Amino acid sequence: MNEYGLYVALLAKTALFIVLAELGFGMYLAKQISVNRDDIAEISSLFWIFLVTKLVVFVLVLVVLILFSSQFGVVESLLCALIFLQFLNVTPILTGLENYKLLTQVQIFTKFLMVVLVLTVNFSNFGLEKALALQVVITALTSVSLFIYFIKNNKLERIIFDFSKFKTVLMGSLPFYGAKLFVNLYQQSSTYFVSYTLSAELVAIYSIALQLYKVGQSVIGAVARVLYTSTVKTKNFALIYKLTIRSFILHVSIFPIVFFYGDQLLDLIFSFDVTVLFDLSILLYLSLFSVIISSYWGYPALSAIGKENYAHLGILVASVVYFVAFGLFMAFDLSSIYLMIGCIVLSDFMGMLVRLFFARKFKLL
């Protein structure tokens, strides 16, 4: 458990760099490419801006890591490789092109492969290094396969880096970056933050609970991404409403299984006492109700009517709530694992209220 706690803390540290260097491209490029999907010149221009910017930013990140690392060994090299491969991931571009089937197939295959490798590799010696190496292999498989697919299936124009266009893209993406920066920080790197206050064993339990929560988030997020790119074009808000109701029904239907049998299922998977993990999982499962509203009625709905700044505001409020709550608990030495998870639940709830307010204000609901 202690080594796993260290492993997830390092992954969270890596995620911290990825979030800081994301620049808002994920949301902005998906929207721009969705609107201009039939314009190969525009897609080519956006792709080269994406690629060149990511390579330059990676060099800067690499310099920072080298300068501030007391030693640069195998672990640090693997972390750098992981960051580089994440930077090359063209998922935002493929999302704009609505290649959802491909993205789903790659995700399912790589996750399955990861499970197989974890079950077959012996981690008794150099366990941390092997675990990070597996993460690098899976990330490489994902990023490279998507990159090759995009290049082969799109007749891109020759490499042109237009600085005026780059400035336009950067100015358009920065509002997304500013809004999502802090929420991405706590969602992707909160494990790294709590590693300073909780024991390695509790960090491991916290991370497992968070990973289970992210499974639900990823399913909701997959639906929201489809809504985001389609609603920008169709303005079909009735579809968002329909999917919200269906998602709620499905979520409520699964809850009795989670509540009455979740501890038994966790006990089958893990060898440690799962009481705390089960409690945290229930809290985070309930928080997914807030995530459904925020995800569907945030960017998919508000961007479609040109009110994405209000979607940004919902994220900013959620982020402020998280960091204020986290800071207060730290200041008063209340670093309980339940309170750490409570920060996420409270943040999700407040973000939902803001987005729900604006969705009603603009008569989308």
Q: Do 149 and 288 sit in the same domain of this protein? A: no
Mean pLDDT, rounded, for 42-49? 86
Q: Do 142 and 226 sit in the same domain of this protein? A: no
pLDDT score of 343: 92
pLDDT score of 111: 82
Q: Do 267 and 208 sit in the same domain of this protein? A: yes
Q: Do 234 and 105 sit in the same domain of this protein? A: no
Picking from 152, 179, 206, the residue at the C-terminal end of a domain is: 179
Share of the chain above pLDDT 90, in %: 27
Whether residue 190 lies inside any domain: the answer is: no
Q: Do 174 and 223 sit in the same domain of this protein? A: no
pLDDT score of 3: 66
- Please state, in angstroms and rounded to a whole number, the distance separating the CA atoms of residues 228 and 299: 6
Per-residue pLDDT at 48 exceeds 60: yes
Domain of residue 246, residue span: 197-365
Whether residue 186 lies inside any domain: the answer is: no
Total domains in the fold of the chain: 2
pLDDT score of 254: 94
**132 token code pair:** 């990070």
Mean pLDDT, rounded, for 252-273? 90
pLDDT in tens, 24-41: 888 788 888 888 877 888
Between residues 225 and 292, the one the model is more confident about: 292
Whether residue 188 lies inside any domain: the answer is: no
Picking from 148, 179, 210, the residue at the C-terminal end of a domain is: 179
- Please state, in angstroms and rounded to a whole number, the distance separating the CA atoms of residues 326 and 348: 14
Whether residue 131 lies inside any domain: the answer is: yes
Q: Do 238 and 281 sit in the same domain of this protein? A: yes
Band of residue 108 on the pLDDT scale cut at 50, 70, 90: confident
Mean pLDDT, rounded, for 90-116? 85
Contacts of 269-277 with C-beta under 8 Å, sequence gap 24+, read: 270/208, 272/1, 272/205, 276/202, 276/205, 276/337, 277/205, 277/208, 277/209
Whether residue 51 lies inside any domain: the answer is: yes
Mean pLDDT, rounded, for 120-131? 80
Share of the chain above pLDDT 70, in %: 94
pLDDT in tens, 139-188: 999 999 999 998 888 887 776 667 888 888 888 888 878 766 767 766 66
Band of residue 352 on the pLDDT scale cut at 50, 70, 90: very high
Instruction: Judge if pTM exceeds 0.85.
Output: no
Q: Do 167 and 210 sit in the same domain of this protein? A: no
Per-residue pLDDT at 283 exceeds 80: yes
pLDDT score of 293: 94
**343 token code pair:** 């920060």
Mean pLDDT, rounded, for 128-143? 88
Picking from 129, 149, 179, the residue at the C-terminal end of a domain is: 179
Per-residue pLDDT at 1 exceeds 60: no
pLDDT in tens, 109-118: 888 888 788 7
pLDDT in tens, 211-261: 889 888 888 988 888 888 888 778 889 999 999 999 999 999 999 999 999
pLDDT score of 189: 67
pLDDT score of 297: 93
Whether residue 314 lies inside any domain: the answer is: yes
pLDDT in tens, 329-341: 888 888 789 999 9
